[in-house]
Chains A and B, each alone.
Chain A
Amino acid sequence: MDGSLLFQSLVLGILLGGLYALLAAGLTLYFGIMRVVMIAHSAFLILAAYLAWWFHRETGIDPLLSLFVTVPLFFAVGVLMQRLLVARLRPVTLTMMSVLLTFAIALTIEGLLGFVFSGTQRRIQLGYSGESIEVFGAHVAVVKLITFGLAAASLAALYVIMKYTKFGQSLRATIQHKEAAQLVGIKTDRVAGYGFGLGLATAAIGGTALSLDATIYPSLHWHWIGPLMAIIVVGGLGSIPGAAIAAMVLGIGQSLLQIPMGTTWAQTIFYVALFATLMLRPQGFFGGRLAQRF
């Protein structure tokens, strides 16, 4: 096997893993806070990508600037969604019913995108779309580097929020033990709402990053949700570092496996990892003591 191809694939895998990590972080957050399986996460991702594309088409300004609108917007939508819809599901059947609810939301978003922007496949054309930087013989595409940078910065911000802010502490307390958190005076309902908003805000960032280097169409989100679900189970449901590590490992794995196995089989790595995790370590490989309780 060619050494430079191997190195190139490794670089591509790391860049891909970064994007997966950001997207999976949001998904695992919902589950951690509320035991909600958020099927619509990737639909919001595509929605954000469409908003970035639309913003770029209408104004001609770099799509990254749409983040200043979409991030607060998605945060607000997340809070509202949690307070008005998810919180009204009965706690006993919450996890199961949330699949149904968020599935409906995903379909609604897909339908509206198709209705408003038509099913035509869109791509943002930027001056630097095809540009790349050479690093030790490997080409690193500028757009992929930006995507990776965004993902890394957002994950770092998420980490700081979770670790060092009062809100983050309340959020983690809610994740770890809701009743105990309530006993020490945390308004878990409100915290859960903000946590949901935070998760959706990561979808806004991820979607904008995605729009830089992908052709988008309304039904694209179905291609994303499967791998992301697999990632958060492997990483341990509810664990953000676990999701990030699993995303990186599986992203690099997928990229490297494509060399000997081809695209079709390399895709199965997510599901092979999912089965292996459920058989050997159902609580997930990284962190994730939480999932043991299910």
Chain B
Amino acid sequence: MKTTSIMRIGALLGAASLALTACGGSDSGSGDDDGPITIGVSLPLTGDFAEPGKGVQRGYEAWAADVNDAGGLLGRKVELKILDDQSNADRVVADYESLIAQDEVDLVFGPFSTRLVVPSARVADEYGMLFVEPAGAAPEVFEQGFGNLFYAAPAVANDHYNYLAEWIEALPADQRPKTAAYAAMDDPFAMGTAYGLKEKMEAAGIETVVDEKYPPNTTDFSSIAAKIEASNADMIVGGTQYQDAVNLIVALQQLDYQPKLAAFSTAPTNPEFPEAIGDKTEGILSPTGYTEQADVPTNKEFVESYTERNGNPPGEDEANAYTTGQVVAAAVEAVGCAEQGECQQKLIDWLHENEVDTVVGPLSWDADGRPQGAHMIQQWVGGEIKIVLPEDVKEADIIYPKPAW
């Protein structure tokens, strides 16, 4: 009996001291204006999206380091508070709730992937926070009526292939592909890219002969490949992430299917891609929102400082994350505040009315946060991935029809 009461008192004391330190912590975090600007982020650092999630983390950290080296934002240092949501939509909601309500961060940045962006944007919306995100490109992100959301990349998923669609439509009738096969992961972003092109191809009279949708956990693509091979479609379009594209391409090669045109989203721009496919990459097309060579303001500095810190140049995930930082920073500098409350609405209003220069080019948004650009089209040419469309920035001529793989 005695021991339990002593323990109870001990526990009470412990709890009280914890509460005290917690109070002390939050006081110094949000109260005064001279302290650092804290930015809350939840990222999938483990689980299904761990790889791109870590890319986004590197991008955010590169941005914060660059900003702090240059003296900070509004003369204050920036400080990132990054939580791991384990690629889980419930966790991401809880994370942003606690970042905004408990930690009282001054600003938030978005997580990775549409599936996590939508629930977290809703939380930010409820608190009236500006929500700039690096990775939710699918149509439904912009159909939720969020007034606070901005996608920090050149184009939404459905517009990724716009330049390629225009190019195909402009081909002489006898050279144009007549049939097309589509295979898309059951994922808002991946389907968006493939079906954006599919709509335009069908309007141009190119018949859809295969339309396969597969769940994200699919690892065996031989049956899908068999269907595509049996249809003998002139072109194959993959709405893909990474492993699905690689497995599908190898499965198609194993069946000796030789299309005139092959386009896959995301995977071909991944540095691992040539290691996985070997010397059979020639002619594979992919849309991309970023290349390190892009000649736009701030990109050169970004590539240099990033490469110096990390030992390798940034990829698209890193660039989009960095862009997110640039977009928010531009608004903060222009409006002159960075805290919760009225300031957030001012930041949102400013971004709706202005264009921001970023490492992926100048960005502006419509009322739902859709960026108003299109993606460049890259192609594997002579063992390297090069921009082939649009004409004015191309590094190589597009190869068509695609050589055998």
Closest chain B residue to A224, Cβ basis: B219
Query: CB distance A12 to B275 under 8 Å?
Result: no
Contact of B212 among A4, A215, A263 (CB under 8 A): A263
Interface centre among A114, A131, A263 (most CB of B within 10 A): A263
A188 within 8 A of B: no
Over the window 273-286 of chain B, the binary record of Cβ atoms lying under 8 Å from chain A Cβ atoms (1 yes, 0 no) is 00111101000000
| Chain A residues whose CB sits within 8 angstroms of the CB of B46 once the complex forms | 114
Which residues of B are found within 8 Å of A263, using beta-carbon distances? 212-215, 218, 223-224
| CB neighbours of B217 from chain A (8 A) | 222-223, 267
Is there a chain A Cβ closer than 8 Å to B350's Cβ?
no
Of all chain B residues, the one with the shortest Cβ separation from A254 is B223
Does A217 sit within 8 A of B, measured CB to CB? yes
Q: Does B146 contact A (CB under 8 A)?
A: no
Residues of A within 8 A of B277 (CB): 125
Known: A122-B272, A130-B253. A9 touches B226 (CB 8 A): yes
Render B385-405 as a binary contact track against A, CB cut-off 8 A, 1 for contact: 000000000000000000001
Tell yes or no: B222 within 8 A of A by CB: yes
Interface residues of B in 232-288 (CB under 8 A from A): 242-243, 246-247, 250-251, 253-256, 272, 275-278, 280
A94 interfacial contact with B, CB 8 Å: no
**Complex: A263 Cα to B213 Cα, angstroms:** 7
Tell me which residues from 237 to 272 in chain A have a Cβ below 8 Å from any Cβ of chain B. 254-255, 258-259, 262-264, 266-267
A264 — nearest CB in chain B belongs to which residue?
A: B215
Known A123-B276, A213-B250, A259-B223; judge A132-B256 contact (CB<8 A): yes
Q: Mark A119-160, 1 if CB is under 8 A from B, else 0.
A: 111110100011110000001010110000000000000000
On chain B, the residues within 8 Å of A143 by CB distance are 254
The reply to whether A119 and B247 contact each other, CB–CB distance below 8 Å, is no
Once the chains are docked, how many angstroms separate the CA of A49 from the CA of B46?
A: 20
Within 8 A of A (CB), among B279-335: 280
CA of A258 to CA of B242, assembled, Å: 22
Would A12 and B223 count as touching, CB distance under 8 A?
yes
A220 at the interface (CB under 8 A from B): yes
Report whether A5 and B50 are in contact in the complex, using a CB–CB cutoff of 8 Å. Answer: no
A129 and B250 within 8 A (CB): yes
Expressed in whole angstroms, the minimum distance between the Cβ of B227 and any Cβ of chain A is: 7
Asked if B84 is an interface residue, CB under 8 A from chain A, the answer is no
Q: Are B215 and A5 in contact (CB under 8 A)?
A: no
A214 touches B54 (CB 8 A): no
Contacts A123-B276, A263-B214: A8 and B224 contacting too (C-beta < 8 A)? Answer: no
Task: Judge if A16 is at the interface, Cβ distance under 8 Å.
Answer: yes
Closest B residue to A12 using CB positions: B222
Given contacts A8-B255, A132-B256, contact A259 B243 (CB under 8 A): no
Taking residues whose C-beta sits less than 8 angstroms from the other chain, chain A's interface range is 35 or more
CB distance from A283 to the nearest CB of B (A): 29
Q: Does B48 contact A (CB under 8 A)?
A: yes
With CB as the reference atom, state the residue of chain A lying closest to B253: A130
Is A2 interfacial (CB 8 A cutoff)? yes
Contact with A along B202-231 (1 / 0, CB 8 A): 000000000011110111101110110110
Q: Please, how many angstroms separate the alpha-carbon atoms of A4 and B231 in the complex?
A: 11
In the complex, residue of chain A having the shortest beta-carbon distance to the beta carbon of B242: A121
Instruction: Indicate if B47 sits at the interface (CB-CB under 8 A).
Output: yes
Given contacts A215-B246, A258-B223, contact A130 B230 (CB under 8 A): no
Which residues of chain A have C-beta atoms less than 8 A from B187's C-beta? none
Asked if A176 is at the interface (CB within 8 A of a chain B CB), the reply is: no
Residues of B within 8 A of A277 (CB): none
A118 — which chain B residues lie within 8 A by C-beta?
51
Which residues of A are found within 8 Å of B253, using beta-carbon distances? 129-130
> Residue B357 at the A interface, CB < 8 A?
no
Q: Is the CB of A114 within 8 A of B50?
A: yes
Is B254 within 8 A of A144, CB to CB? yes
Q: CB < 8 Å: which of B230, B242, B275 contacts A4?
A: B230
Q: Please judge, given known A-B contacts A255-B223, A263-B223, whether A132 and B255 are in contact too, CB under 8 Å.
A: yes
Q: A2 with B223: in contact, given A139-B255, A264-B186 (CB under 8 Å)?
A: no
What residues of B have a CB within 8 angstroms of the CB of A16 in the complex?
Answer: 220, 222
- CB-defined contacts of B213 to chain A, threshold 8 Å: 262-264
25 contacts between A and B (CB under 8 A): A5-B226, A8-B255, A9-B226, A12-B226, A114-B46, A119-B54, A121-B51, A122-B275, A123-B275, A125-B276, A125-B278, A131-B254, A139-B256, A144-B222, A144-B254, A214-B219, A214-B247, A215-B243, A215-B246, A219-B48, A254-B223, A255-B223, A259-B227, A267-B215, A267-B217
- A sample of 11 more A-B contacts (CB under 8 A), given A217-B243, A263-B214, is A5-B230, A16-B220, A125-B276, A129-B250, A129-B278, A130-B280, A139-B229, A214-B219, A214-B247, A264-B215, A266-B223
Q: Closest 5 A-B residue pairs measured CB to CB? A: A130-B253, A141-B254, A123-B276, A263-B214, A215-B243
Which B residues are within 8 Å of any A CB, using their own CB? 46-48, 50-51, 54, 186, 212-215, 217-220, 222-224, 226-227, 229-230, 242-243, 246-247, 250-251, 253-256, 272, 275-278, 280, 405
Task: Tell me the A residues contacting B by CB distance below 8 Å.
Answer: 2, 4-5, 8-9, 12, 15-16, 114, 118-123, 125, 129-132, 139, 141, 143-144, 213-215, 217, 219-220, 222-223, 254-255, 258-259, 262-264, 266-267
